[in-house]
Amino acid sequence: MEHAILAEHLAVNYRRKSGETVRAVKDLSFEVHPGEVVGFLGPNGAGKSSTLKALMGFVSPASGVATILGLPAGSERARSFVGYLPEVAMYYPYLTPRETLRLYANLQGIPRAGLEANLTELLGLVGLGELGDRLNRTLSKGQLQRVGIAQSLLGEPSLLILDEVTSGLDPLGRRDLRELLLSRRDNGATLFFSSHELSEVEMLCDRILIIDQGVLLESRVLSELRSELRRYGLVYRGGASMVGLTDRLEELENGRVRALFEDKEGLLAAISRIQNGDGEVLDVVAHDGSLEDYFVDVIGRAA
């Protein structure tokens, strides 16, 4: 199987109560490969949730096609391989987390034999071991999110589609979730999730997709993007010319100069010039660019 998710020219429309049609997603094409961890980024109202809903079959695309693991997106068969976490996790207030998971396990068709042991294990895995028999209505937002995460992991799905996965979780919860998701990836699962927490995205993803106003703006492999965003700082003394290498120079005290380079080649050339001109290299620093700056830049350019 070549694609875990394939979307081709996907368009999703909504009709408002006033009768006006809103184009939430316009001609969106992308693919997610098996075993990949892909972050789906975009500002509020960009069309992320609409895309995920179309993939799950909650809304019918106005045009275009989408497949999940080679099966038509939204079909019952496709959904049997997918674990889905909705954007706002709400679960029956008068059921307990264990009863909630049991309900979904029954709908999923998970064999009854050993089910209770599996549920206990899953509740422990998401940190709800001791809260499994309390009513959902008594749980906090973060604890409910954990119920949501647990239900998405039921039946060990091959593909996880998670909408705002870190919503409501505290830093410890986020760390646990990260470890949990990475362990699922190590077991061969594909992860496709939307999030506004770019630091989480940086730590988890192999690739990111950025959309805005229903249009795909960027699809970048994160390791490539990181090296592209990396800047090199050099502090030196001496009169070496940096013409043609960088114009980002800053005079410091005691005759020191700080120069910033876009790439490693520029940095090496600058070091060579300094050393040939009797100068002295005092410090070399690599600065990793932030995904947040890049995200803001991409969205700003598209606006």
3 state SS of 89: coil
CB of 68 to other proteins, least distance (A): 12
Residues binding other proteins (CB under 8 A): 14, 53, 56-60, 76-77, 79-80, 82, 84, 86, 88-95, 99, 102-104, 106-109, 135, 148, 151
The least distance separating other proteins from the CB of residue 205, rounded to whole angstroms, comes to 22
Cα(13)–Cα(234) distance, integer angstroms = 52
Name the residue nearer to other proteins (CB basis): 88 or 296. Answer: 88
Tell me whether residue 105 or residue 240 sits nearer to other proteins (CB atom).
Answer: 105
Strands (E), the chain: 5-15, 21-32, 37-41, 63-68, 71-72, 82-85, 159-163, 190-194, 207-212, 215-221, 231-237, 249-251, 256-261, 280-287
Query: What angle is formed at CA 44 by the lines to CA 176 and CA 181, rounded to 5 degrees?
Result: 20
Q: Say whether 252 sits in a helix, a strand or coil.
A: coil
Judged by beta carbon, residue 150 or residue 209, the one nearer other proteins is: 150
The gap from C-alpha 4 to its chain's centroid, in whole angstroms, comes to 16
The residue among 118 and 219 lying less far from other proteins, judged by its C-beta, is 118
- Shortest spacing between CB 191 and other proteins, in angstroms: 16
Find the shortest distance in angstroms from Cβ 72 to other proteins.
13
Q: Residue 99 or 218: which CB sits closer to other proteins?
A: 99
For the bound state, the minimum distance from the C-beta of residue 91 to other proteins, rounded and expressed in Å, comes to: 6
